[in-house]
Amino acid sequence: MFESSARSGVARRARVAVGVVGFAATLAGCAATPPAGPARIMQPGDFRMLAGNWYGSELIQQAQPQAIQAVIQDTGAFYTVLRGMPGAQRPGIMRVVDGGVVYETATSKGTMTFHESQDGKNWVWKWQGTTADGGAVRNELTKPK
């Protein structure tokens, strides 16, 4: 009887350890974002400079943070994918409006800002949006300059 209870204790500790490691990996991905300076005043054509691969995290209200990758095209079209699931692209479009950026996807819409990191080595892309059912969406991604 003692042996069975010892085995279940080991299994329980292993499950907890896996959960802690997964949570720590998620936090490490979020913590890797460099501090950002003020939001860039956007001009038509700025998406050309920001085009390419971006990496970061997605936080949708009432859900676990997800590691994501995004690609911006020079037209303002973009898509995101959950890292590790490259076949599930989620497209969207950005537009410059009065020096800011508005976006729309099939699942959310809102605003975006682009910043230079304080060390000047990276771009930081921040989102704030709302899902169709009223949930909050926040994404933060980075890209080397």
Model pLDDT for residues 2-35, shown as the tens digit of each residue: 444 444 444 444 343 333 334 333 333 444 566 7
Q: What is the pLDDT of residue 33?
A: 60
Q: What is the pLDDT of residue 34?
A: 66
Beta strand residue intervals within the chain, DSSP E: 36-39, 52-60, 66-72, 77-82, 90-97, 100-105, 108-117, 122-131, 136-144
Which phi and psi angles does 119 have, rounded to 5°? -85, -5
Within 13 Å and on the Cβ side, how many CA atoms surround 105?
Answer: 20
User: Could you identify the residue written with the tokens 């959950």?
Assistant: 82
Per-chain mean pLDDT for the chain: 81
Please give the average per-residue pLDDT across 74-92, as a whole number.
88
Q: What percent of the chain has pLDDT over 90?
A: 61
Q: What is the pLDDT of residue 47?
A: 96
Q: What is the pLDDT of residue 32?
A: 53
36 band by pLDDT with thresholds 50, 70 and 90:
confident
Alpha carbons 115 and 142: distance in angstroms, whole number: 9
Better-scored residue on pLDDT, 57 or 84: 57
CATH class of 36-144: mainly beta
Joined together, the tokens standing for residue 44 give 């038509």
Q: What is the pLDDT of residue 23?
A: 36
